[in-house]
Amino acid sequence: MKSILIISVFCFAVLQLTFAQASDPNQVAKDAATNHANNDMNNAADNGLNKAENSIKGLFKKKNKKQDQKNDSAQTKTATSQVAATSTDAPANTAPDIKSYQNYDFRAGDKIIFEDNFATDQDGEFPAHWDLNKGQAVVNKIAGIPSFLLTEGNYCQVVPRMTSKSYLTDNFSIEYDTYMTGGAFGLIVYLYNEDNSDNMTVHVNSSEATWGGPKKTLSGSFPSAINGESYLNKWHHIAIAYKNDQLKVYVDQYRILTVPHCDFKPANFDCEGIGDQDHPIVFTNFKVADGAQMNMLDAIMTTGKFITHGINFDVNKAVIKPESMGVISDVVKYLQAHPELKLEIDGHTDSDGSADLNMKLSQQRADAVKTAIVSGGIDASRLTTKGFGASKPIGKNDTPEGKATNRRVEFVKL
C-alpha cells in the first residue's frame, strides 16, 4: 500500500507542476529545463521508493509553501547551513591543478561588462547590483565565500542592474563559480534578444550542460571525473563563450558543449532556476566580458603591450586560478614563436586595501605569472616583473566593473 501511495503522490505532483507551468508565458522557453528536473525525479524513482519519496517531498515544498517575508532571515540560515555543512574549501582550492588546463581553449573577454563577487554586500541582504523579478534570493557566506543564494521560487529570477537593455556583443563571455548539494537545481542563464521576445538558455546541472535554442536543444554530458556524485559538494567554475553565433560551455577544465550555430543574437540575460530553502542555487564570482579585443600579436606589435583580464587570482592572494591557464598558454606559445622577444609582466590591483599591501600583492602576482610561464618552457631570462598596485588605474574604482577593469596583468614588450 505504501508503494502505491507514493507512486500516486508522485504522479499527482508531476501533474501539478505541469499545470502550473502551462500558464507561464515563458513555458516554451522553460520546457527543456523543466523536463530535466522531471527526468531527475523519474531517475530517483527508478533507483528506489525512498529516493522518489524524498523527491516528492521536495516538490511539494516548492509548490505549496507560501513564504512569509518575516521568516526570510531564519530560513536563509537554514539554506546557508545546509550548504556550509559540506562546503569546506574555496572555489580555487577545490579546482583541478593548473597543469590540467593546458588544453583549455576558453578565453574570457577583456572588456568588463558586469562583475560581482558579492564582497561588499551584507549577509542576509539582497545584493545591491542585482534585481529580483521572481522568488526569493539572498547573499550569504558559504565557507567564508560571499555567495548569491536563490532560495525560493519555481522559477526564481534575478537580473543584473544594467543601464542598457542591450549590452551583450557578438563576442562575449559569462563566468561564475557554483556549488551544488544533492537535490539542488543547477543555475540557468537565460539569454534574450533585443526586444525580449525570444530567448535561448544554458543550464548546467550535476551531470550535463544543456543549451535550449529557438528551434532545438543540445546537451553535453560531463566526464566521469565530475559527473553525478563526483560533482556535488564542491565548487566548480562555469564558463560560457559566445562568438559570432557559436556557443561553447566549459565546466572546470572540460569543454562540455559546443553549439555550432545558435541562430540567435543575445542582447541581455538573467539567471533563473528552482530555488529551495534546503537546496539553494549557489553562485559567486559572476563576470560578463566583451571578447572583441586585439589578439596578442596585434596588441604587442601595435601598442607595445597586451592587457588581459583573463588571468585571475584568489582574493587577496597571488594564487593563479586554474581557468587562467588558457591565456597563460597563449603567452607561452607566442614566446615560443618569437624567440627574440622579451616581456615585462606588470601586475595591477584595484584600490581596495592599503597602498603598501596592494603594491606587494601586485608584485607577487606578476611573479606568479612569470613562474607559470617558465614552467611552460620559457627561459626566465626573457621575463621581468613589476608590481604597480593601484597606482595606474584604467577604470574607476567606485564600481565593481571599474575595480575588475583595474585588476589586470599587462605584458609589455622590452
Looking at residue 56, its pLDDT comes to 25
Which of the following CATH numbers is that of domain 69-290: 2.60.120.560, 2.170.130.10, 2.60.40.10, 1.10.10.60? 2.60.120.560
- How many residues appear in the chain? 414
36-45 pLDDT, tens digit per residue, is: 444 443 443 3
pLDDT mean across residues, the chain: 81
User: Helix 49-64 crosses helix 27-46 at what angle (to 10 degrees)?
Assistant: 150
- pLDDT at 356 > cutoff 80: yes
Per the listing, cell 530567448 goes with: 199
Looking at residue 60, its pLDDT comes to 28
Alpha-carbon gap, residue 394 to 186, rounded angstroms: 36
29 in Cβ contact with 72 (< 8 Å): no
Alpha-carbon gap, residue 319 to 182, rounded angstroms: 30
Per the listing, cell 605584458 goes with: 411
- pLDDT at 25 > cutoff 50: no
Q: What dotted CATH number matches 296-413?
A: 3.30.1330.60
170 in Cβ contact with 292 (< 8 Å): yes
Cα 411 to Cα 146, 335, 346, 367, 414, distances in angstroms: 31, 11, 6, 12, 9
- Bridge partners (DSSP) of residue 413 are 343
* Higher per-residue confidence, 318 vs 45: 318
- pLDDT at 281 > cutoff 50: yes
- Identity at 404, one-letter amino acid code: A
- pLDDT at 347 > cutoff 80: yes
- Going by pLDDT thresholds of 50, 70 and 90, the confidence category of residue 59 is very low
Cα 357 to Cα 46, 309, 397, distances in angstroms: 56, 21, 17
Alpha-carbon gap, residue 109 to 179, rounded angstroms: 24
Mean per-residue pLDDT, 300-321: 88
Strand-strand pairing, 343-348 and 383-387: parallel
Mean per-residue pLDDT, 392-405: 90
- Going by pLDDT thresholds of 50, 70 and 90, the confidence category of residue 84 is low
Alpha-carbon gap, residue 254 to 238, rounded angstroms: 10
- pLDDT at 140 > cutoff 70: yes
Cell of 81: 547551513
319 in Cβ contact with 313 (< 8 Å): yes
Quote the distance between the C-alpha of residue 312 and its chain's center. Answer: 14
Mean per-residue pLDDT, 143-167: 95
SS3 228: helix
Pick from 346, 236, 326: which is nearest to 284 by CA? 236
- pLDDT at 207 > cutoff 90: yes
* Higher per-residue confidence, 228 vs 83: 228
- pLDDT at 297 > cutoff 90: no
pTM: 0.78
Looking at residue 100, its pLDDT comes to 76
Alpha-carbon gap, residue 287 to 404, rounded angstroms: 9
Domain borders along the chain are 2-64, 69-290, 296-413
Cα 321 to Cα 27, 101, 199, 313, 368, distances in angstroms: 38, 10, 32, 5, 11
- Residues 6 or more apart whose Cβ sits within 8 Å of residue 30: 21, 24, 155, 201
- pLDDT at 145 > cutoff 50: yes
Looking at residue 21, its pLDDT comes to 44
Cell of 296: 596578442
- pLDDT at 401 > cutoff 50: yes
- pLDDT at 90 > cutoff 80: no
297 in Cβ contact with 291 (< 8 Å): no
Per the listing, cell 551583450 goes with: 168
